[in-house]
Amino acid sequence: MSDTGTLEALVQALRRLPGVGVKSASRMAFHLLQNDREGAELLSRALHEASSRVRHCERCHTFTENPVCDTCLDDGRDAARLCVVETPADQAALERTGAYKGYYYVLMGRLSPLDGIGPRDIGVQQLLQRASDGVVQEVILATNFTAEGEATAHVISEALQRKGVGFTRLARGVPIGSELEYVDLGTIAHALADRR
């Protein structure tokens, strides 16, 4: 590659990160090369290690270095509860709350017909097998409240209902500490409808 070709390849690689455009990727590349060569090497090694060692858990599909993740191996968790999330990042967010002690199933995506992503692509059949194992009593649908997340939750809930498996959906409402005049109207409407 030419002397600018290597730099351009780095910028293009950084652009693959979500939310990173050309300007941000260029700033990152120049920063690493100009001010933090040690950080660039560290980042390179960490990415190489992660991409070669991290895999999907055989049971829940989250990221792990072992065949089965630590969460799935934890006998102290509530086996009657199975929380369905879209991504390992969503699972990590739920874990940080400390409020949920059951097991997970990570879809590794959501339905998106426009992108050609259907139920098979996100493992709905495997989820149904796990949810109908006789141990799971409640499947908690914790997909995002986007159009795709709602469609995913709807398709899964219909399939669970046909199998006779109980399910719930995460509640929606006004965030703690917020003022009503600044909350979007959709959130207020759902909070009113789902009040308890």
| pLDDT per position as a tens digit, 123-137 | 889 999 999 999 999
Between the alpha carbon of residue 87 and those of residues 105, 144, 177, the distances in Å are 9, 10, 27
- Name the pTM for this structure: 0.81
For residue 2, CA distances in Å to 9, 29, 30, 196 come to 11, 16, 17, 64
Give per-residue pLDDT as tens, 36-72.
999 999 999 999 999 999 999 999 999 999 999 999 9
Residue type (1 letter), 168: T
What local confidence, expressed as pLDDT, does residue 3 receive? Answer: 63
From residue 9, alpha-carbon distances to 16, 17, 46, 161 in Å are 11, 14, 19, 49
Tell me what pLDDT residue 139 has: 95
Question: What pLDDT does 19 receive?
Answer: 92
pLDDT on residue 30 = 93
pLDDT at 1: 47
B/e letters for 137-150, b = 16+ CB within 10 Å, e = fewer, are eebbbbbbeeebbb
pLDDT at 114: 83
pLDDT of residue 156: 94
pLDDT at position 65, please? 95
> Which residues face 105 on adjacent strands?
84
Domain 56-169: which CATH class? alpha beta
Query: Which residues in the chain land under pLDDT 70?
Result: 1-3, 196
